Structure 1
Amino acid sequence: MSSSPSLSAERDYARLARHPLRFWLATRPAFLSLTFCALWPGLAAAHRSLLPALPMLLAGCMLALLTHAAVNVINDVADEDNGCDAMNRDRVFPFTGGSRFIQNGVLSRDGMKRLALLLFCLVAAGGLALVAVAGAPLLYIGLTGVGLGWAYSAEPLKLNSRGLGEVSVAVCFWLIPLGMVALAGGVLSPAVLASGISVGCLASALLYINQFPDRAADRAAGKWHWVARLPTRSARWGYPLLTGAGYGWLAIATEAGILPVAALTGMVTLPLTMVAAYRLWRDHDRPARLAPAIILTIAAANLHPLALAAGLWFG
């Protein structure tokens, strides 16, 4: 195995085996920021009823984060079961290849599975309580999001292994702003429905670029997402297609009057994705050199919904 600083830091995780925070860290909390930022376009769309609905919205934010945490943990369990994470030698830690908690002995496979089930149970209980107040729209949004999150990697559907991972992620992150509006008692208007599409596309692009370093292990484990199916020279086209769809939709929706012109603040992250696309184009077959492109994509996926929310709030 490479002796790079990132992988040396990974092996240091073994010291967490008895640390009281190990269960929290197993959820990959740094990546939960993606969900936290995706909440804001929905909060901006519902800002006129924000204060009366504040307790509901805070509870919804917590459940969204718990759902993302549960999905991260069950993904690690699934990738232990199929052998993917154990075989992964090209990962760019800590961005790809999972949390490595099972492989480095921080938590057992069964311990991780119990944690995932506990988190999903908390989400289900809290979600049903909110649905009792907010009504059917929230039920449909929540069931779809949680169901896709589980099915993304877990048996029997394993959507990512079937080439449906990008669609699943895009739909889940599109639903997050809708859930915030439903919690605030707002109407799921065309503007609200349109507001999360670019957020979903950029979240999906992050998944997509993260699969390049993991490609060899994923192929060996039978995870046939599009980066695994295609030669990397062809697969690199997927990144500009996903990001282009997000920014393109934003331009179309504002031009058509579905979104206010101020929503074009979301375009502020376009330079980040352009530079990331260039780096992926150049280094598609050199996983060790993809960390800068992944970092730029993470930055864009987090900042885009915040910039979009600012435009929706004031527009």
Structure 2
Amino acid sequence: MRALAATRPPFLAVTLVACVLGLASAHGSGVALDPLTAILTVVLALLAHAGGNVINDYHDRDADCLNEERLFPFTGGSRFIQNGVLSARQTAMLGYGLLLAVLPGGLWLAWQAGTGLLAIGAAGLLVTWAYSAPPLYLVGRGLGELCIVAAWLLVVAGADYVQRGSFSAVPLIAGLSYALLVANLLFINQFPDHQGDKAAGKRTVVVRLGPQAAKWGYLCIALVAYGWLVLMVGREALPQKAAAAAITLVFSFSAAKVLLDNAEQSAELAPAIRQTILAACAHGLLLAAALAFASWPGAH
């Protein structure tokens, strides 16, 4: 149970939704879904995300130790190392062990679906490692949001590829707005953590710009996400029903207002973080429904 809790299971929901979106992308393109490979895809993606969470706890242990404004359970890591639940060595072994556990199943899926999945899987594992681990440590260089967008686009594309057996632009077009909203979750979580991050030398966007300047970044990311969705629907690269996913801007903009008013008041940001999670997950599910059950010129 300790090992399971260390993976921060509630946050794995965003990967589950990404898999659903990728499967819906393939299905909407006329591909008959294979239940076995679909289920294995979801399991492996969740394992990879779980491993990434634990690895992040290991490599962020100094910043998390200095973090006195964390918002449980959203920010500041699991604190299993700081609270003595797991040692740093046990945490590292668990995190990297979970990533290694993905390899056999991933190789079998590539054998079934095509070698292109090897490139998607390798890129995903590289991003997961480079996000948290030195020498790249991209989240500590202000590049965490780009990593998140890339990682969740790869999840959507990978789930689609396993069913389709080839590369397609559809999951990338459909997945970008979702991946951006997932990136906003990382972005807003940096505000309660920025003092600890700064003390540990972790140079996130919020640390680099300061909370008052950085707070506008959340709104910018949301605007790009919804703008992309509307543009792609308008160009018939996505079905018209996908426009329904734009309704989640109510949650994103509500969260943005809370952040704009309370960028330096960490205790006030919990509702905005919840709304950010809701916006991303609801957006992805609405997109998935539109892709799975609607026909449009760009589907094939």
Assess same fold via TM > 0.5. Answer: yes
Alignment match, 1:73: 54
TM-fit CA distance, 1:187: 4.3
Contact 2:239 2:291 in 1 (8 A): yes
Amino acid paired to 1:260: P
What are the Cα deviations for residues 237-268 of structure 1, in whole angstroms up to 9, with x where unaligned? 11011111111100001111111111112112
SS at match of 1:280: helix
Match of 1:104 in 2: 83
Structure 2 match to 1:124? 103
Computed over aligned residues only, the root mean square deviation of the Cα atoms, in angstroms, reads 1.1
Aligned AA (1:75): N
- How far the C-alpha of 1:186 sits from its partner, in A, is 4.7
Q: Which of 206, 210, 227 is the matching residue for 1:227?
A: 206
> Is contact 2:245–2:283 with CA below 8 Å preserved after alignment?
yes
Give the letter aligned to residue 4 of structure 2.
W
SS at match of 2:191: coil
Q: CA deviation at 1:207?
A: 0.2
Q: Name the TM-score, length of structure 2 as normaliser.
A: 0.95
Which residue in 2 is equivalent to 1:13?
Answer: none
After superposition, give the CA deviation of every residue in 1:266-296 in whole Å (9 maximum; x if it has no partner): 1121100010000000000111111110110
Could you tell me whether the CA contact under 8 Å between 2:113 and 2:165 is conserved in 1? no
- Unpaired runs of 5+ in structure 1? 1-20
1:281 counterpart = 2:264: no
Q: Summarize the Cα distance change of 1:189–1:117 in structure 2 as closer, same or farther, 3 Å threshold.
A: closer
The equivalent of 1:64 in structure 2 is: 45
Q: What is aligned with 2:15?
A: 35
SS across alignment from 2:192: coil
- C-alpha contact 1:268 1:307 (8 A) present in aligned 2: no
2:31 corresponds to: 49
For 2:60, the aligned partner's letter is D
* 1:22 paired to 2:2: yes
Q: Is the 8 Å Cα contact of residues 151 and 158 (structure 1) preserved in structure 2?
A: yes
Instruction: Tell me the SS of whatever aligns to 2:164.
Output: coil
Aligned residues: 292
For 2:172, which of 193, 196, 205 is the aligned residue? 193
Q: Which runs of 5+ in 2 are unaligned?
A: 295-300
Assess if the C-alpha contact under 8 Å between 2:245 and 2:286 holds in 1: yes
Structural mapping, 1:73-222, within 5 Å: 73-80=54-61, 83-222=62-201
CA contact (8 A) 2:19 2:41 kept: no
Equivalent position of 2:221 in the other structure:
242
SS at match of 2:132: coil
Are the counterparts in 2 of residues 201 and 246 from structure 1 also a CA contact under 8 Å?
A: yes
**TM-score (norm: length of structure 1):** 0.90
Quote how far apart the aligned CAs of 1:45 are.
1.5
CA shift for structure 1 position 183: 0.5
For 1:54, the aligned partner's letter is P
1:184 alignment partner, SS class = helix
Following TM superposition, by how much is the alpha carbon of 1:225 offset from its aligned partner in structure 2, in angstroms?
1.3
Q: Distance in 2 between matches of 1:74 and 1:312?
A: 34
Q: Does residue 251 of the first structure (1) align with residue 230 of the second (2)?
A: yes
**Deviation of 1:162 (Å):** 1.0
Instruction: Out of 190-199 and 166-175, give the one that drifted further.
Output: 190-199
The reply on whether 1:290 has 2:269 as its aligned counterpart is yes
Percent of aligned pairs sharing the same letter? 45
